[in-house]
Structure 1
């Protein structure tokens, strides 16, 4: 920590002395001035005037004839180049964020009166930078059909990007993020490893990696996304740098007012739904910007409200009517009695009622009756989800003089959401109980209950021009996103109600319904979802900056940044306890037969656990960086980008030292601040994050540019649960303790016994799961490289190129279980490596940098700038993303496979706007009706994402969970599981017959991520009619249609071998049916 403070202190001094820049909504203009013979002209005066604000900047060319304007706010500029005795040249150029526009001039002899006017637009070819980036301009932001007016939907359409995983932390389906999706995967990288910025400053929610604030569409000027070979001034990412630029006011008043609405009457039915669920959505608001004092002070303000009530249809698996009574005669597999030394089937496959566990017998009433006679996917239900959202922004820009400008902005978001359960509430006696009916695993289910999310953000900036060649800016930022998610039964001690001993301890966070999880997790579980309640509170303080100086053909930039993060995460894995049931206690003892619900009725859990963390921890970490960048115009046709960046991401500390870390090498827990242990619980600071950047851009004949580069980037991926080191003596843990029945023995754990009394254990005798971080934890690292070629023709640009990366030192979300029992028979606990030393300790999951990844892609793009009413951006990406991770049943082995849920082999995307030419020559009523129509569209088509087939019930008996996408052991495969396209159905997506059970206590030969899910496709369109109201005022009538073709994009099939639904698909993931939205917008 002393080293971090030293780095931070040095940066603070740098900022105080030098000021800075940090990639806000700014751009550069560069150029070289020569005479008609090609000789360079020094001391030429060059001015750049912002047309909207009248702000003027002046510089002179160097001895090599070069000039540069840096830190220019985005907008339209007039560039004037003049030298006594020569004709002046006037050019018009439009700048977008991150542009490095080249305005060269060849001066001719003459006088001022003989000036040359050049009509220009924003640059088409990228002639001076190797960075791979995409721009979403203001017209696209305002006109594209964007579901929910969520700008992330447009980021998902840039080259190399796709929507993240269905179960992602950022996709709006989890308690961590209930707002509209923030999920975007860039170049095959996990969607929470991006760097989110607003106006160039930090916009990252620290605990999970999503965004802090989401400005309204009407507040966004444009979005710049860097995807490979980042500039040295940007980092903290392995995926993309997403920079949202907010609007500012100008010398004219401009604004908007809007109302959009949706109703189920105009929507289609979701594929698996029995009818059209209710949809009532309203989105409304407005914006206003203009001068406070002409050419000096400007403001911009906006507000947006969003209200939606929407039915959520579900199709889940619940026990049949016969199963509820213990009758499993509908199954082809027998149910065995595990209480016999040699297991024998129950006569008629019926469990006698007198054998029911008393708690299980009561819980059965929580399950709804099936709505059809099938064994799986037999209950359809629709429940309503509600969400109310508010977003507002206020920005002021002030110009003291030509050398000093400042701006300040405040943004606020507030979202209240109620997520429904997948089955209705049940009244038993005096209690009304929400069963939740979780599907997909307790940690990845629907997370029913209320959520309250709010976010504040403030930023301020001061730019100062020292001279014609030197400029600086200083900026500061404060961000405060907070999250509260609760379960539907929060505050009710339902464990006491059902007689589950010690499940509720009297505290609010341990209230609710104890969870009975059925495995495979496609069978509905009842109880509170894991990881809820969730309390997250964040504070981030940032200063950042640089000094930029032009020296001849070199444009030098030096700067740095520091982010101080303070946040808390109060969350328990299973505060009320979790009982896991699978088929092993009721199978034959050799792996055949059995059923999870039968094990549940008998009260034979496979494992029992509780992880409860009371209190309110507050974590601290610092992120410091410094960089140097040199953009060198080596020749008239070659620019070289040289840079180096240095990042220091400090390990976590907690305000009261409530961290304890298990160190396998020492075989013990280290408690922060005790016995000489550091406040980081032994985790060392990583000082190795040196990131060189080398790139070039070469202007070729025939309006072509060849550019490429190589660089290193780093990410502080120590934010997930293991990094918080919630262990004894700061937790009350129990288990997971595994029953003898899991290894085909006689059950020795029973639901009726409830949980033991759990007390806070000491570091000397830890119990239950223990988590921690490798003491030598390193920042994730990515080697990035690209080679691209661009060709301009007739105002269009075609692009082709290769983009690649090699990741190492990666924490891929896989914790190394150092206490994993070897595969084999018998009780799991006694076979664990640390059993003799810590007999009550279960899994020991340590975050380690053992992962590796590769990404290779070819990108092809076509960009048509606005001409004859048409704008178009179309691109195709052919890519392959792979990862290396530990084998889930043996962490001493590693395997390569496609990056699960992020390997998208083929993806095509389109954004287009077309102003219809009709009616322009008409007059009167015909002109009013036929003119000013516009059609807009977005579309994508992609191949399916990767997944792994796993066992529904563990065969290895190691204590690792089965039935999860990343964990568990696997069956054998003998043959090709991929069915011909015309044979794939939702009932059977792949050939299940090629899979078979591996021998007991072994894992099969199924490889990691060898299967790919269904393809995804969608077309969204809108049509506008503008009604002129005089001057710049107009009324815009809009109809928007999402998923025009009503094509379902299915989710992943059931990949749990041994489940009744194995190979079938029962959901459409994040897909939507065709939806229509009507809107009106007033613009002036």
Structure 2
């Protein structure tokens, strides 16, 4: 998920707290407490106060022995006390009167109530990460699914963007960018895609993961969803090493639900190997330790462009259709040159068999003419040349007639190293370095015609390097005063090149003006041609190529003071994000894009255009009607970058907190954070840029007499209070309640990375859905900008250039209010359960608002920044405003979201052969839009703005997850067959583990053709004309919901309820049930050397998990499920040698 992002003062340590009493329950003052790390012998000490209470802070996670001595009492040692990060471990001690020589030893309990902290958090131990079934990349983020309030983690974005295959998730109803991950104190965020971590530590290197999700401690800020702390392993006084390899391939994989022996006689090649090793130990015993690891991932996976019943199958034009012969098709093809400009008066194409006629087509054999056949002379030579690159069908029919597949390749190397130095008994220092280097190769599916990538995203070759460095220390100034701090640095560099890189195919080969850039090789390649209903042609990846070099710096410093019943803390965070990009991805890509929806060859007021109309439009060389419904739905356009996109952004936080133990039963947590987010700046000729919506000028900060911030300010009032109460009713039950505010930490570099004059992105459309913009022979207009003169500090924004900008004045940054009321109780057999109410509310959520959207029936003329005085009767503009037809977004914090949930968990730490971790969430999440980085709205019309408020797209009402690890009680030393028999030896040392999940479906929206709506920047939905019936069908011709309940809107946009009467996210898709299962055995080769063999089975029962039904009313698959998730059963074998 990447659960992601920023660098905050997250707690890298745990605490141990308790009360020393005598047999009567009276406190033992001045008792001396010593905490000893069992692996490194590092010690921490404290003295109990007058009431017998003690606290030891800044304790690294691990297993400890607690020794307590007091005059007149027997010394007591509590062994195997487990300490976790961001957790207060309670260790009450009862001393017996006696001599110093009479030692008492007890085992620490594995069940500890959370009696002092009031946050909600979940711990993932080393054992859970190594022994529970993880996903195919063995990513620890898989187990974040076990956190109450977490939606199932998913891969998002291209594999080229995230070769670490980070998972993204939503926590407690907040958007995915609000999460926060740190690795050993260093920020771990992909600044450009902040819902991803940029580095994912290999499972073999992780000691512990802590996930806080609500009412955070004051030390934790700059987060709204989850604060994830990852602690990697350190060396110990004993040398330890591992060697491992895990293997999966297509022979161990079940077929996908829609994949049959008939459609795919052989399963495509799919090999994934994960291999490596770790080594750690003492450099100097008790003083200096090291740990290092290598993890290599090698994936070769045969992929297809599509999934579902038609996996790998697309539609390409047949030979007759390529020649303009639509005579065998029932769809009527109309001539856009007829009708006198009235699209409702057009006449059908008729070709002639007379070779001397201008309407001649050799396919016509009728002397009376051939209806639905385009004369050869009318076919665009450019289109004909393009179609010549497209492979002919290799399957029968005029639809679903082409199959292709290819093998994507990922090679990834992870290196980790860590050194810990116990400099003195009071000063500990650590340093860590991690690196990931990868190469990814994605193959196009149409050969010379390029087409979509038969991969997880990323045509061509992508090279990535990620580095993470952190240095930290803990200094105990006295038994009651401790300071700690760390600095971290994370860097990601990446460059990618598409397979068509190096040749200006659009400009030089096809001769289409306005494509590519003859002066910049980075803009080379083939334009994208999106013909509705057909396979994409050309290079569709507008974001590719990409050249990135981003880094983040973190500096966190804290002080903790124990005084009587108070545990006071204070500290500061400093975060710096630094983005450097060359990636012109504003709508269309740098090579250009042309969309074909079919409107120009259809008859207005008649049947809606279909794919044959779209193909005919393409063959005529026309493009760019409004609401084409094809490609990016931009009509036509191109992106070009002139200046490297840079962003420099600082984030500051200060906090103070007090954990006040009023009585042995009641603890109050008080805290206050103050955060400040200065405005981001550019690194170049100007400091900031802002669009003036009233003058159509782009203002440039710091030049031409302009101020650096151009009148944009950020809040200096971002105070975030925290309060919590914990009351221990009895030794088995505690009640906790808390409330807190956190600030949305989204880097402004995400939404404001680079618009004009750094990058220009154009889109051109006709005046309505039936009128093309232009022809391929005329190409894409050059909107600017060979030499931009910025010396005045003000430049005119071209009318076709896409734009996103802040307004003037205060840029409101969102914040999240969170609260909880939880009851936690110990149960027999070492179980711990909790049940509670959890809520969040997001205030001032960032989002776009397209201020250039037009109202229904007004089309392009009605765009506010285009025409000041439109004449709708004549379709002309009487008085021009700015002539802007491109999307123009005002980006500001002005929306809200809320979430309410019942959350329950059950936990049993591993003991007596069993570990259990489960979570259940019953919830509802409501928002206006699901994101805040690039967050568009369905409706920008102020009169229907509230229609945007609905269930969130990630809303999942019911989520149940249950994980376990179980040592089979059979074999040597166990309950059954425990002797030395052959049976005992065969059955010894077997374990099983698994994760069971039952998850409700997520909502989806219904859309419809916007031809009749005739509005820019607005969504069209169907009308509901009957009761919604869930039919439950799967696959072609088997609707999941009854499609007859909805009808397309064909009334004009000026009529009543022009948008349709169906809201956003009104229907739910299918839910899922899944079981991941592992079976493994450990062979003890020597006293210290063991070999583990394991079999993991993802989706053990091979339960199909379906994607949502098609939501477009215009699609022939409306409300039909046509694909399933690629998570069919996959076995994986592994060997792990350890000592």
Q: Which residue of 2 aligns with 1:804?
A: 839
| Offset of residue 361 of structure 1 | 2.1
| 1:113 alignment partner, SS class | coil
| Offset of residue 165 of structure 1 | 5.9
On the 8 A contact 2:939/2:947 being kept in 1, the answer is no
TM alignment of 1:743-758, pairs within 5 A: 743-745=769-771, 747-758=772-783
- CA distance in 2 between counterparts of 1:174 and 1:816 reads 30
Q: Does 1:597 align with 2:601?
A: no
On the 8 A contact 2:487/2:554 being kept in 1, the answer is yes
Q: Which residue of 2 aligns with 1:537?
A: 549
- CA distance in 2 between counterparts of 1:420 and 1:124 reads 53
Match of 2:273 among 282, 287, 292: 282
| Offset of residue 1055 of structure 1 | 1.8
TM alignment of 1:312-391, pairs within 5 A: 312-313=303-304, 314=306, 315=311, 317-321=314-318, 323-328=321-326, 333-341=331-339, 342-346=345-349, 348-370=371-393, 372=395, 377-391=400-414
Q: Which residue of 2 aligns with 1:85?
A: 72
Q: Which residue of 1 aligns with 2:91?
A: 103
| 1:737 alignment partner, SS class | coil
Q: Does 1:1024 align with 2:1076?
A: no
Match of 2:161 among 167, 170, 176: 176
Q: Does 1:971 align with 2:1002?
A: no
Deviates more, 1:873-882 or 1:122-131: 122-131
Structure-1-length-normalised TM-score: 0.91
Bigger Cα Rg: 2
Q: Closer, same or farther in 2 for the Cα pair 1:953/1:577, shift >3 Å?
A: farther
| Offset of residue 657 of structure 1 | 4.3
- CA distance in 2 between counterparts of 1:329 and 1:43 reads 98
On the 8 A contact 2:657/2:672 being kept in 1, the answer is yes
Q: Which residue of 2 aligns with 1:188?
A: 173
On the 8 A contact 2:989/2:1082 being kept in 1, the answer is yes
- CA distance in 2 between counterparts of 1:242 and 1:898 reads 29
TM alignment of 1:576-655, pairs within 5 A: 576-590=591-605, 592-595=607-610, 596-605=614-623, 606=625, 607-655=635-683
Q: Closer, same or farther in 2 for the Cα pair 1:721/1:357, shift >3 Å?
A: farther
Match of 2:452 among 418, 424, 436: 436
Q: Which residue of 1 aligns with 2:959?
A: 907
On the 8 A contact 1:438/1:529 being kept in 2, the answer is no
Q: Closer, same or farther in 2 for the Cα pair 1:46/1:758, shift >3 Å?
A: same
Q: Does 1:703 align with 2:732?
A: yes
On the 8 A contact 2:111/2:826 being kept in 1, the answer is no
| 2:190 alignment partner, SS class | coil
What's the CA shift string for 1:801-833, capped at 9, x where partnerless? Answer: 11110112112xx42111222322564477645
Match of 1:74 among 56, 61, 65: 61
- CA distance in 1 between counterparts of 2:52 and 2:425 reads 24
What's the CA shift string for 1:997-1030, capped at 9, x where partnerless? Answer: 2223232112011122222332211111111111
| Offset of residue 840 of structure 1 | 4.7
Q: Which residue of 1 aligns with 2:356?
A: none
Q: Which residue of 2 aligns with 1:789?
A: 823
Q: Closer, same or farther in 2 for the Cα pair 1:333/1:698, shift >3 Å?
A: farther
Q: Closer, same or farther in 2 for the Cα pair 1:834/1:1031, shift >3 Å?
A: farther
On the 8 A contact 2:938/2:948 being kept in 1, the answer is no
Deviates more, 1:594-603 or 1:258-267: 594-603
Aligned residues: 1035
Q: Does 1:293 align with 2:311?
A: no
On the 8 A contact 2:245/2:1135 being kept in 1, the answer is yes
Deviates more, 1:1005-1014 or 1:363-372: 363-372
- CA distance in 1 between counterparts of 2:804 and 2:442 reads 30
| 2:713 alignment partner, SS class | coil
Q: Closer, same or farther in 2 for the Cα pair 1:113/1:165, shift >3 Å?
A: closer
Match of 1:424 among 434, 446, 461: 446
Deviates more, 1:882-891 or 1:200-209: 882-891
What's the CA shift string for 1:1044-1071, capped at 9, x where partnerless? Answer: 12222122332222133333333324x3
- CA distance in 2 between counterparts of 1:392 and 1:644 reads 39
On the 8 A contact 1:24/1:245 being kept in 2, the answer is no
On the 8 A contact 2:180/2:227 being kept in 1, the answer is yes
Q: Does 1:980 align with 2:966?
A: no
| Offset of residue 845 of structure 1 | 1.3
Q: Which residue of 2 aligns with 1:470?
A: 481
- CA distance in 2 between counterparts of 1:111 and 1:616 reads 75
Q: Which residue of 2 aligns with 1:442?
A: none
TM alignment of 1:752-771, pairs within 5 A: 752-760=777-785, 763-767=794-798, 768-771=801-804
Deviates more, 1:175-184 or 1:242-251: 175-184
What's the CA shift string for 1:84-138, capped at 9, x where partnerless? Answer: 1223332231112222011123434332234433310444321111111111111
Match of 1:822 among 855, 859, 878: 855
Q: Closer, same or farther in 2 for the Cα pair 1:970/1:907, shift >3 Å?
A: same
| 1:221 alignment partner, SS class | strand
Q: Which residue of 2 aligns with 1:1072?
A: 1127
Q: Closer, same or farther in 2 for the Cα pair 1:438/1:215, shift >3 Å?
A: closer
Q: Which residue of 2 aligns with 1:1061?
A: 1117
Q: Closer, same or farther in 2 for the Cα pair 1:834/1:531, shift >3 Å?
A: farther
Q: Which residue of 2 aligns with 1:876?
A: 920
Q: Does 1:220 align with 2:206?
A: yes
TM alignment of 1:517-532, pairs within 5 A: 517-519=530-532, 524-532=536-544
- CA distance in 1 between counterparts of 2:145 and 2:503 reads 41
| Offset of residue 515 of structure 1 | 1.2
On the 8 A contact 2:315/2:399 being kept in 1, the answer is yes
On the 8 A contact 1:829/1:839 being kept in 2, the answer is no
Q: Closer, same or farther in 2 for the Cα pair 1:816/1:175, shift >3 Å?
A: farther
- Listed as ranges, the gaps of 5+ residues in structure 1 are 1-19, 427-432, 440-444, 961-966
| Offset of residue 887 of structure 1 | 4.3
| Offset of residue 897 of structure 1 | 4.2
TM alignment of 1:120-159, pairs within 5 A: 120-147=108-135, 148-159=137-148
On the 8 A contact 1:672/1:682 being kept in 2, the answer is no
Q: Which residue of 1 aligns with 2:1016?
A: 959
Q: Closer, same or farther in 2 for the Cα pair 1:578/1:234, shift >3 Å?
A: same
| 1:501 alignment partner, SS class | coil
Q: Does 1:727 align with 2:747?
A: no
Deviates more, 1:1060-1069 or 1:793-802: 1060-1069
Deviates more, 1:400-409 or 1:927-936: 927-936
- CA distance in 2 between counterparts of 1:283 and 1:364 reads 42
- CA distance in 2 between counterparts of 1:834 and 1:111 reads 95
| Offset of residue 78 of structure 1 | 1.4
What's the CA shift string for 1:562-596, capped at 9, x where partnerless? Answer: 01221212211221222122133233223633233
Q: Which residue of 1 aligns with 2:874?
A: none
On the 8 A contact 1:829/1:842 being kept in 2, the answer is no
Q: Which residue of 1 aligns with 2:890?
A: 846
| Offset of residue 24 of structure 1 | 4.8
| Offset of residue 466 of structure 1 | 0.6
- Listed as ranges, the gaps of 5+ residues in structure 2 are 1-6, 340-344, 351-370, 626-634, 869-879, 930-936, 973-977
- CA distance in 2 between counterparts of 1:972 and 1:231 reads 48
| Offset of residue 519 of structure 1 | 4.4
Deviates more, 1:555-564 or 1:271-280: 271-280
| Offset of residue 682 of structure 1 | 3.9
| 1:155 alignment partner, SS class | helix
- CA distance in 2 between counterparts of 1:654 and 1:687 reads 21
Q: Does 1:992 align with 2:1043?
A: yes
- CA distance in 2 between counterparts of 1:481 and 1:278 reads 31
Structure-2-length-normalised TM-score: 0.87
What's the CA shift string for 1:650-690, capped at 9, x where partnerless? Answer: 22211114542113356532212224434345432222321
